Structure 1
Amino acid sequence: MTRIVAGAAGGRRLRVPPGETTRPTSDRVREALFSALDAAGAVDGARVLDLYAGSGALGLEAASRGAREVVLVEVALAAAQTARANAAALGLPGVRVEHERAERFLAGPRAADGAGWDLVLVDPPYAVDEEALAGVLAVLAPLLADGATVVVERSSRSPEPRWPAAWPAARRRRYGETSVWTVHLDGPGG
C-alpha cells in the first residue's frame, strides 16, 4: 500500500499503476526524504516538478506538505491516468499532470513558464541510463529558481548521476536498494 505520509492529506492511500511499469518510492524513503526537505525549507510554498512521476506519490507528498504548485510529468499512459486519479481523489490545490516524456516537457514552453522550479524530484525507471539522465539534468538546469533543490532517486547499484558542471556536490543517502541524491543550488541553474 502506498500512502501520503504527512501534511494535509497525510495517511490517505494512493493507487499504483497496474503492471510493472513503475517502481513506487517506499513510504519509508519518502518519509526520510521529505523530513530532510522540510527541515531545509524546500517544500512549503515551492513550485515542484516531479519528473517520471509514476503514481504521483512524490509530487503529491510535496503538495500535501504545502507546495504552491506541483506538476507531475509521466510518459506511461496508465501511470499518468493513475496520477490524475490520485490527484483528483486527494483534491490538493495547484496539482496538474502532464502525460509526456520528461525530455519533451523540459524542452517545451510549459516547463519554462513562471519563476523557475524550486524543487525538482527526478525518479526515473532504473532502465533509464546515465547518459539519458545526464541529458535531462542538463536541460533542467536553466529552468531552476535561485536556491533550487534537485533530488534524484536511483538504484544503490547505480553510479552518482552526472550533474551539470556548475552544480555543487550532491549529498547521498542510501536506503537499502535505493539511493537518494540531493543537490542544493546557490543560484539559477547552479
Structure 2
Amino acid sequence: MPRIIAGEWGGRRLVVASDATRPTSDRVREALFAALESRVDLTDMTVVDLFAGTGALGLEAVSRGAASAVLVDADRRAVDGLKRNVAACGAEQRVRVVAATATDFLRAAGEQRYDLVFCDPPYDLADDELAQVLALVGEHLGDGYLVLERAKRAAPTVWPSTLSPVLAKRYGDTRVEWAQSCSDSDAATS
C-alpha cells in the first residue's frame, strides 16, 4: 500500500481502488521528489497529476508545499479511490479530482497553465496516444517541469516541439523523464 512520504501528510497510507492502477513505488517517488526539490521550490506551485491512480504524486506535491493539485483519471474505481485519498488527507480545499481521460482534461483546460505536470500513464499506453498527451501538456506547462514515468523497456520518448527533455533516470524497471516548456529552456539558455 503506497503512502505519502514527507510533508504535511507524511506517513498517510493511500488506498489502491482499481486493479488497473500501478502506483509509483515509494522508492521511486522519494528519489523523484528529492531530485525535484533540488531544482525547484514546490511552494505555491499548481500541479496536475495525469493518470493519477492513487493520487500519490499530486498528493505528495501538495503535502510538500504545492498550492493545489488536480488529480485526473478515467477509471471510475480509481476516481473513487482518489476521492477517498483526498478526504483521508483532509485536502479537499487544495486538491480536486477530475474523472476524465488525460486528453479530454487537457483539451478542456483552456488557457490554464500548470507549474508541474506528472504523467504516469499505463505502461501499455500506445505511443501515439502518449504523443497526443505530451503535445497537449506542452500547451499547458508553465515554467516548471513535466515528469513522465514509463517502463524502462518502453520505446524512447518522442517529445513534441513544445517540450524539451531535461533529465532521464532509471529506477529498477522504471524510467523517469523530465521535460520543460521550450520557451522556458530557450529563456534559460539566452
TM-score normalised to structure 1 length:
0.91
| Aligned-pair identity (%) | 44
RMSD: 1.7
2:137 corresponds to: 140
Trace 1:62-101 onto structure 2 (pairs within 5 A).
Answer: 62-92=61-91, 93-101=93-101
SS in 2 for 1:170: strand
1:120 corresponds to: 117
Q: Cα gap change, 1:188/1:104 in structure 2, threshold over 3 Å: closer, same or farther? A: farther
Aligned residues: 185
Q: Any stretches of 5+ residues in structure 2 without a counterpart?
A: none
Aligned match for 2:174, one of 161, 175, 178: 178
Q: Cα gap change, 1:68/1:112 in structure 2, threshold over 3 Å: closer, same or farther? A: farther
| 1:115-145 Cα distance to aligned partner (Å, 9 max, x none) | x100000000011111110111111211121
Asked if 2 retains the 8 angstrom alpha-carbon contact of 1:144 and 1:189, the reply is no
Task: Give the AA of the match of 2:55.
Answer: G
* C-alpha separation in 1, matches of 2:94 and 2:184: 23
Aligned match for 2:155, one of 144, 154, 159: 159
2:47 corresponds to: 48
Residue 12 (structure 2) pairs with residue 7 (structure 1)? no
* C-alpha separation in 1, matches of 2:86 and 2:106: 21
Q: Any stretches of 5+ residues in structure 1 without a counterpart?
A: none
168-177 vs 82-91, which moves further: 168-177
